[in-house]
Structure 1
Amino acid sequence: MASAPQPSLPLFYNDLMPLNSRDHSKFHAKPTDSAKWLVGHHAIPLTVDEFPQAQRDFPIVFSSGDNPLPLALMGLNEGVNVFVDDNGKINDPVYIPAYIRRYPFMLAKLKADADELSLCFDPTSDAVGEFSEGDALFSDNEASAATKSILGFCEQFEQAGQRTRAFMDEIKKHDLLMDGEMSISQNENPDKPFIYRGFKMVNQEKLRDMRGDQLRTWNQNGLLPLIFAHLFSLDMMRNIFARQSQQGKVPVREMPEPS
C-alpha cells in the first residue's frame, strides 16, 4: 500500500493513504467521542462558508505571512485549546469547524502533476481500520453509502476552500489586511494587560474609506457580511481569555529580577 505524496502534511495528519477497495475492502469508519489529535491545537483552518456560525463561538483571524488564511481560535496561546479536555473530549455545545470534522479523510493528489483528487485517509487514526465497529467503507468491492457520504463532504470542503481563496484574493487585492493586536486586562492587574499579536485582521479604517460602488458590489456578492462576521468575532478573544483564566492556562508572567 503506497502513501500519497506528502512534501508537507496538513495540520492533524501524520500520514496519507489513498482509500481503495483492494487494500481496504474490510475497513470500517467508526465515530468517536473524543479527538485527542485536537488537544494542544489552538488555531484551526476555517472556510468562509463557516463564518456566520463560527463567529458565535470563536475569534476569526487571518494567519500571518504572504498567503494568509482564515483561522478559528480555540485558544490564544500555542498549545492551548480551551474547548477540549486532556482526553480530547469537547464538552461544550460549540460549532465544530469542518476541518476538524473532515479528519481523518481528505482529498489529495496522488501525483504532484495530477489534476484529479483522490479520497485519502490518515492510517494512524484509530477511527479507520479493519474492525467490525462503525460503517463499512466498501460493499462487494464498491464504495459504500458511508464512503460516498464522506467523499461528498470532502468535495464540499474543497469547493468551500475555493470560495475562501477567492475571498482572500479579493481582500488582499484591496490591501485590507493589517497586523492584528489585542490587549486584554485582568481585573486584579489592569495596568499590565496581555498583548496578543501574530495574526492579521481587516483594517477598519481602510474599510470605511472604500468606494461606495465597491462596498455595494461586496454587499451584493456576500463578501461584505463575511468581513463583518470576522470583525464582530474579534471580541470573542475576551471570552477565550476568560476560559483560559478559568482553566489556569493563562501564561505566567515573569517576575522582575530584584535590584
Structure 2
Amino acid sequence: MATAPAPANLPLFYKDLVPLSSVDHADFHARPLDKADFLIDQHAVPLTSDEFIAASRFYPIVFSAGENPVPLALMGLNEGMNTFVDADGKLINPVYVPAYIRRYPFLLARLRPDSDELSLCFDPTSGAVGKFDEGDALFADGKPTEPVNAVLEFCKNFEESGQRTGAFVDELKKADLLMDGEVSIQPEGSDKPYVYRGFQMVDENKLRELRGDVLRKMMQNGMLGLIFAHLFSLQLMREIFAEQVKSGKMPLVTEAPAA
C-alpha cells in the first residue's frame, strides 16, 4: 500500500468518495476504463487471501510491515515502479488483476461513525462514472439497474473476503509465523546483491516446527495451501527485478510499503 496517507484518509487509488444516489445520479452512466493510470506509480496492491492461488502465478505475495500486516501483490520492487502496466496505464500482458483494482472506482463505505451500515460510493474523479452518453445506466425509474446490483454484490463479496483475510492473518500472528523478510538478488555483472526488505513473510523454519494438531488444523481449513502459495510466489521477485532492469529502471536497495 502507499507509504504516504491518501487525502482525507481515503483508501489507495481513491481521490474522492461520493455516495451513489438515485436522485443525484439518476442520469449517470458507468463506462469501462480502457487504462488504469492510477496504477502507473503503484508498486504494491492489497490482496485478499481468496486470491492467493490465482495471484501467486503472476505476483510475489508479501505482508506489509507493522503490527497490522496486510497481504500485498507486488507489481514492482521500488516505489513508483510498476512492471505490469505501460506508461499509459495499460496492462502489458494478460495477468490476474487483483479484486482491489477491479473494484475501483466503487467502494462500500461507512458514512456515519455511529452506524455499521455500508453505502455504495464511487470516486467521481475516476472518469468511469458520470453524465455520459455511453456506458451502463445506473438507475432506471429510480431503481438501481442490474449493473449496479452486480457492482454492489462484487463489493459485498470483497468485504467478506477482507474479513476472511483478516482472520487468516490473525491466525498467522497467533502461530507466530510471520517474520521480517529479506530477499537478495545477485544482478548479472554486479559484485553487490540487490536486497529487498521491509516486508513480512512466513517463517519456513517455524512452519516446519508447528505442532501436529496445529498443522492439521491449517491443512483442514485451507490455510496451508495459502501459505505455500505465498512462499512459492516469492520466487517471482527475480522476474520483476529482471523486468525493471530491462526497462532501464535499475532498482536500488528498498523497503516494501507499510500498510
Q: TM-score range by the shorter chain?
A: over 0.9
2-structure distance, mates of 1:167, 1:30: 35
Q: CA deviation at 1:7?
A: 4.7
Give 1:204's aligned residue.
204
Conserved 8 A contact 2:63-2:199 = yes
The question of 1:88 aligning with 2:94 is answered: no
Give 2:239's aligned residue.
239
2-structure distance, mates of 1:155, 1:198: 32
Q: CA RMSD, aligned part only?
A: 1.1
1-structure distance, mates of 2:93, 2:101: 15
In structure 2, list runs of 5 or more residues that go unmatched.
Answer: 1-6, 254-259
- Which stretches of structure 1, 4 residues or longer, exceed 3 Å deviation after superposition? none
> Deviation digits for residues 107-145 of structure 1, max 9, x if unmatched?
000101211111000111101101111101101110000
Give 1:23's aligned residue.
24
Map 1:1-259; keep pairs closer than 5 Å: 7-189=8-190, 191-251=191-251
Q: CA deviation at 1:252?
A: 6.3
**Residue 95 of structure 1 aligns to which amino acid in structure 2?**
Y
Higher gyration radius (CA): 1
> Deviation digits for residues 129-188 of structure 1, max 9, x if unmatched?
011111011011100001000001000100100100000110011111110001011111
SS state of the match for residue 188, structure 1?
A: coil
Which structure has more relative contact order (CA 8 Å, sep 6+)? It is 2
In structure 1, list runs of 5 or more residues that go unmatched.
Answer: 1-5, 254-259
Conserved 8 A contact 2:43-2:80 = yes
**Residue 15 of structure 1 aligns to which amino acid in structure 2?**
D
Normalized against structure 2, the TM-score is what? 0.93
1-structure distance, mates of 2:232, 2:114: 41
Conserved 8 A contact 2:75-2:240 = yes
2-structure distance, mates of 1:106, 1:192: 44
**Residue 28 of structure 2 aligns to which amino acid in structure 1?**
F
Normalized against structure 1, the TM-score is what? 0.93
